[in-house]
Amino acid sequence: MSFLDRIKTLAAAYAPQFVEIRRHLHAHPELSYLEYETSAFVQQQLTAMGIPFTVLAETGVVGIIEGVNPQQRVVALRADMDALPIEEANEVPYKSTRPGIMHACGHDVHTACLLGAAKILVETKNEWKGTVKLIFQPGEEKNPGGASLLIKAGVLENPHPSAIFGLHVHPQLAVGKVSFRAGMVMASADELYLTVKGNGGHAAAPQSTVDTLLVASHIVVALQQVISRNRNPFQPSVLSITSIQGGHTTNVIPAEVKMMGTFRAMNEAWRFKAHELIWQLVEGLAHSMGAEVDLHIDVGYPTVYNNEALDQRARSLAIDYMGADQVEETELRMGAEDFGYYSQKIPGCFYRLGVMNAAAGITAGVHTPTFNIDERAIETGMGLMALFGSMG
């Protein structure tokens, strides 16, 4: 039996165990940076497998599996563990037991797949070379991102990985399939917070006021020039103002208007140039209309960039493992993922795991109260992740 077939056989044999683990995790979700029970559960599973681990950033768990010649190569495999503040609407035996909290982004799946891969890698450790670092990460869903905290705590050192792989459920991709994309994959995500200030007053006497709502309206429109007149048309980018709050009655011009929004980019140089342009435009326009403005740009996750050579290697392995008809191209997405912190430091490959089953009605998107998966995806996910750990 070839090594690839051995992984397939083990993935098929162990998949039911890790489907049950996924169900346990799904029923007991925890919010970002509060994954204490989840972390303890992961630690218990690693201990049962005989895998040594350390705890970083309170709830992060980092396991080490050594194969033949451990110093020859080091590959990291990453899964996130946190859930979202969403009330689950699914009626399933493993429905969330925590009111208002749900694994609506598939992090329970990611964790179960990495634990399953760990079991396969331990069982086959005399058949592959190098070291695999298992990263169970907190806080992907909330700034500053658990990846940034783990990196600061030294997750990419002792030993230093030469590559990192991470998967994410894809509810628009059929179960049994995976997808890849080289280069730009996902956008950076920065949050914009603005407060326009001026002397308010009677709406019937605007000449005696600074109309903060009018200033805010001009800012909303003018900010689109940052994208349309300054960005290279071949660089995807988005700037959206998503909230304007000011005033409470018909006859008063408010003294303060609050606004917020998001800025996203696929290029780090353009990203920070745009920050400067946003500052210049907002301050200049507000001052020209007699208002003051406070602007805060909360710098969030960087772009996710897949190393071209690593992506090609992963695709090739996936085709060997699954067949070319099961491997697709991932679409470019303006969503964000803190896997970008890793891919800015070392070669990374962030790929998608199909979980959709249209015939069974499993089609809901992530971050919705009806998100669910076809659990056959667990076998695919754990087997492929083990293959990347051992041969990627």
CATH assignment at residue 240: 3.30.70.360
CB 146 within 8 A of CB 80: yes
| 161 and 228 belong to one structural domain | no
> What secondary structure does DSSP assign to 204-268, as a single string?
T-GGGS--HHHHHHHHHHHHHHHHHTTS-TTS-EEEEEEEEE---STTEE-SEEEEEEEEEES-H
Task: Encode pLDDT of 53-89 as tens digits.
Answer: 999 999 999 999 999 999 999 999 999 999 999 999 9
Q: Residue 124: its pLDDT value, please?
A: 98
Q: Whole-prediction pTM value?
A: 0.94
pLDDT reported for residue 367: 97
**Closest alpha carbon to 3 in 385, 392, 391:** 391
Mean pLDDT, residues 309-320: 98
Same domain, 182 and 192: no
Q: Is 276 helix (H, G, I), strand (E, B) or coil?
A: helix
Picking from 261, 278, 298, the residue at the C-terminal end of a domain is 298
The answer to whether the Cα torsion of 265, 183, 131, 323 is positive or negative is positive
**Each residue's pLDDT tens digit, 253-290:** 999 999 999 999 999 999 999 999 999 999 999 999 99
135-159 pLDDT tens trace: 999 999 999 999 999 999 999 999 9
The answer to whether residues 318 and 180 belong to one domain is yes
Secondary structure class of 114 (helix, strand, coil): helix
Give how many domains the chain has, as a whole number.
2
241 and 373 co-located in one domain:
no
| 392 pLDDT higher than 90 | no
Whether 151 and 192 map to the same domain: the answer is: no
Same domain assignment for residues 270 and 171:
no
Query: Is residue 161's pLDDT more than 90?
Result: yes
What mean pLDDT do residues 344-357 have? 98
Is the model's pLDDT at 1 over the cut of 90?
no
**Dihedral over Cα of 80, 86, 88, 93: its sign:** positive
106 contacts 169 by C-beta, under 8 angstroms: yes
Largest CA distance in the chain: 86
Which letter does DSSP use for residue 373 in this model?
-
> How far, in Å, CA of 320 to CA of 317, rounded?
5
> How far apart are the C-alpha atoms of 299 and 316, rounded to whole Å?
35
Domain boundary among the residues 238, 271, 298 is at 298
In three-state secondary structure terms, 362 is: strand
pLDDT at 142: 95
| H-type alpha helices, the chain | 3-27, 36-49, 107-123, 146-152, 212-228, 268-288, 308-322, 339-343, 377-391
H/E element, 135: strand 131-137
Asked whether residue 159 falls in the same domain as residue 202, the answer is no
Separation between Cα atoms, residue 164 and residue 120, nearest integer Å: 18
Q: Are residues 165 and 259 in the same domain?
A: no
Quick one: pLDDT band at residue 307, thresholds 50, 70, 90? very high
Q: Do both 327 and 262 map to the same domain?
A: no
Is residue 10 over pLDDT 90?
yes
Does 316 lie in the same domain as 268? Answer: no
Q: With pLDDT > 70 as the criterion, what percentage of the chain qualifies?
A: 100
Residues 307, 165 share a domain: yes
Which of 300, 392, 302 has the alpha carbon at shortest distance from 344? Answer: 302
Is the preceding peptide bond at 159 cis, omega within 30 degrees of 0? Answer: yes
333 and 309 fall within a common domain: yes
Q: What is the pLDDT of residue 365?
A: 97
**Residues of the domain holding 248:** 188-298
Mean residue pLDDT of the chain comes to 97
Cα 390 → chain centroid: 24
- What CA–CA distance (Å, rounded) separates 187 from 191? 13
- CATH number, domain with residue 80: 3.40.630.10
Q: What is the pLDDT of residues 179-203, one digit of tens each?
A: 999 999 999 999 999 999 999 999 9
Which of 239, 271, 298 is where one domain is finished?
Answer: 298
Asked if pLDDT for residue 251 goes beyond 90, the answer is yes
Strand partners, 137: 80
